[in-house]
Amino acid sequence: MKLFNHNDDQRPLDQEPEFNQFIDAAMSRRHFLKATGAASTVSFFAANPVSQAIANTMPSTSTLMGFNAIPISTADTIEVPEGYQANLLISWGDAVNSDAPNFSQSNDSNAQAMQFGDNNDGMTLFPISEDRAVLAVNNEYTNNEYLYEHQGKNISADDVRKAQAAHGVSIIELKKSNGHWQVNLDSRLNRRITAFTEMEMTGVAAGHALLKTNADKSGRKILGTFNNCANGQTPWGTYLTCEENFNGYFANTSDAKLGDTYDRYGLKKEDWGYDWYKFDPRFDMSNEPNEPHRHGWVVEVDPMNPNSVPKKRSALGRFKHENAALVVNKDGHVVVYLGDDERGEHLYKFVSKHKYTAGADSNRDLLEQGTLYVAKFEGREGELNGKGQWLELTWGKNGLTPENGFPDAASVMIFARLAATQVGATTMDRPEWVAVHPNNESVFCTLTNNKYRGVRESQPINEVNPREKNPYGHIIRWNPNQGDHTADSFDWDIFVLAGNPDVHKDGLLAGTDNINKDNLFNSPDGIGFDLAGRLWIQTDGKYSNKGDFSGMGNNQMLCADPETGEIRRFLTGPIACEITGLTFTPDYKTMFVGVQHPGEDLAPSHFPDGGNHIPRSSVIMITRKDGGVIGA
Ligand code: FEO
Ligand code: CA
Ligand code: CA
């Protein structure tokens, strides 16, 4: 069976599924929840007293963080600090409207289109009132081994449609009753955006010849969004969903070579095992060579208008977008920091042409026009800090000219990766999320890991990517010149090099000083700040708990004090999951956290339903038993 991990090299499954029969998952889950006597609390979230005893012995110095760190876990549970609790909000396949059937692995595409999508990732809560809010959640990808009863061995047309319906974005209204947030299935705002929802291309690339297909001669009307990784939000109330590994859905059934621009985006003869091209001809590049140009963008969605047409924003460039960290600069320009998550790719910044005006309708067009930049880092030899520059990606400047393969302004955005190389951008160790500090101008970015660092000629070791093969990842921080996010220079340093001081006694693989035996982790990915300036760090790393990764356990979420550098483990996830996606209620007393792909590659997880049930990606809610602010 062919099924590949979405972010790694192609990794065929090496074992046949062991699951034979499943009882009706939805039915049993209801019984299970009833038996526990709690509407949405499941046993996976039980506190662990032994763990807590160990945690209480850990040192604590930060005044920003008021909780006791927890130890690692290899259990199939969510663990949180003493005094905290985790409840389930929604899982893949749960209804998003009152007509939807209950979850079953045998649900068809029509059912899936009315259910919560799979592999939830980045998300934003949009408050409406004290007891109403809308949650927009990305649904990044699907796992054939769980999506289908046949585990992907015999894909049909409806299977493809079901997978496409499991991708995209789920928008759900939440209501608070008896102090608990839950999904309001009757809300008119509930919506699924999928890989076949109609969208509009905007900005300089809209209508370009490279975006025209047999089905869309205008080059402006695009069907769908998929591999929606992380996210962003705007002060004018819209949601930004970022298209990451779009290449994995395309195949080329002809023998004709597609060329360099396809190679640079990882578009190959074979797809990653989704098989969409077999039943949806737009995913066969021999039919539709321009369809891949219509994906790899940031998409702006109005979560308060279920009839609105999502807008793909070509001014933010086409690459494997991780998230979109938007900040309104002091002068009113909107700045969006953007990571391109692939080994040796780049870090970008968009600056809007026009300025933000609170309450103005014109804000809705701010992402339509602006200037894209890419980062070039310079180091101080032997130090983990230095200076950097933002290089402008504007047609006609910096060698972005027809003789270098850029015939017009649209081509610079459509092939932003090639433009970045042309101007001399620094190749990075997989830029994942970017987060801007709420109370100053510092900006943080996770560089998750990179086995090609120091191995491939194009990815030499340098100060900002200082470790050969970088197995653990790191987080960098920069301060724009004079606190101006539109400035073309910045100072940077490394906030943390994750590492393992137990395995590597010294040197860079031991990690920076803020890594110790009590907070080991690898592959930082999702990050976000709360209002007080606590930096939350989520991991998508190796969970073998062996060798280089011993003492790290399952993927987790940590909390950092940006001032002192201290990092404490706050949450551990179930088996073979990734923790990704975070958002808060306005009072910061409820934190929504994503558990993605528990049981990946058929690892033995049954989260969250327990028993024999297949694992399901889920959104959980963290609260304090005393009702206080999370992390304080
Ligand atoms: Fe979807 Fe780079 O993580
Ligand atoms: Ca990620
Ligand atoms: Ca990742």
pLDDT in tens, 158-212: 999 999 999 999 999 999 999 899 999 999 999 999 999 999 999 999 999 999 9
pLDDT band at 60 (very low <50, low <70, confident <90, very high): low
Note the pLDDT of residue 250.
98
Q: Are residues 587 and 57 in contact, defined by beta-carbon separation less than 8 angstroms?
A: no
Mean of pLDDT values over 485-511:
97
Q: CA-to-CA distance for 408 and 575, rounded, in angstroms?
A: 49
Atom of ligand 1 at shortest range from CA of 432: 2
| Binding site membership of 578 for ligand 1 (Cβ less than 6 Å) | no
**Mean pLDDT of the chain, nearest integer:** 92
Amino acid in the structure at residue 145: E
Residue 13 CA, ligand 3 centroid: distance in Å = 19
Higher-pLDDT residue of 26, 264: 264
Note the pLDDT of residue 21.
23
pLDDT of 388-431, one tens digit each? 999 999 999 999 999 999 999 999 999 999 999 999 999 999 99
Protein residue closest via CA to atom 1 of ligand 1: 229
Atom of ligand 1 at shortest range from CA of 322: 2
Mean of pLDDT values over 247-253:
98
Residue 323 CA, ligand 1 centroid: distance in Å = 9
Q: Residue 59 pLDDT more than 80?
A: no
pLDDT of 17-58, one tens digit each? 222 222 222 223 223 222 223 333 333 443 333 333 333 344
Residue 322 CA, ligand 2 centroid: distance in Å = 6
Residue 393 CA, ligand 1 centroid: distance in Å = 24
Residue 37 CA, ligand 1 centroid: distance in Å = 37
Atom of ligand 1 at shortest range from CA of 448: 2
Q: Residue 329 pLDDT more than 50?
A: yes
* Conformation bin of residue 483: beta by default, left when phi > 0, alpha when psi is -120 to 50: left
Residue in the structure block whose two tokens are 């592959």: 523
Q: CA-to-CA distance for 249 and 333, rounded, in angstroms?
A: 36
pLDDT of 357-370, one tens digit each? 999 999 999 999 99
What is the DSSP code string of 176-243? EETTEEEE-TT-TT-EEE-TTSEEEEESTTTT-GGG--SS-TTS-EEE----EEEEEE-TTS-EEEEE
Residue 446 CA, ligand 3 centroid: distance in Å = 9
Atom of ligand 1 at shortest range from CA of 339: 2
Q: HEC profile for 473-537?
A: CEEEEEEEHHHCCCCCEEEEEEEEECCCCCCCCCCHHHCCCCCCCCCCCCCEEEEEECCCCCEEE
Handedness of CA 120, 123, 126, 127 (dihedral sign): positive
pLDDT of 559-609, one tens digit each? 999 999 999 999 999 999 999 999 999 999 999 999 999 999 999 999 999
Considering every ligand atom shown, identify the ligand nearest to the alpha carbon of residue 140 and give its number: 1
Considering every ligand atom shown, identify the ligand nearest to the alpha carbon of residue 341 and give its number: 1
pLDDT > 70: percent of the chain:
91
pLDDT of 101-119, one tens digit each? 999 999 999 999 999 999 9
| Binding site membership of 447 for ligand 1 (Cβ less than 6 Å) | no
Least confident among 9-13, 232-236, 242-246, 627-631: 9-13
Mean of pLDDT values over 277-288:
98
pLDDT of 610-625, one tens digit each? 999 999 999 999 999 9
Q: Partners of 348 in the beta sheet?
A: 338, 374
pLDDT band at 381 (very low <50, low <70, confident <90, very high): confident
Residue 229 CA, ligand 3 centroid: distance in Å = 9
| Binding site membership of 580 for ligand 1 (Cβ less than 6 Å) | no
Atom of ligand 1 at shortest range from CA of 245: 1
pLDDT of 120-161, one tens digit each? 999 999 999 999 999 999 999 999 999 999 999 999 999 999
Note the pLDDT of residue 30.
27
Residue 545 CA, ligand 1 centroid: distance in Å = 22
pLDDT band at 506 (very low <50, low <70, confident <90, very high): confident
| Binding site membership of 445 for ligand 1 (Cβ less than 6 Å) | no
| Binding site membership of 7 for ligand 1 (Cβ less than 6 Å) | yes
Atom of ligand 1 at shortest range from CA of 230: 1
Atom of ligand 1 at shortest range from CA of 140: 1
In three-state secondary structure terms, 426 is coil
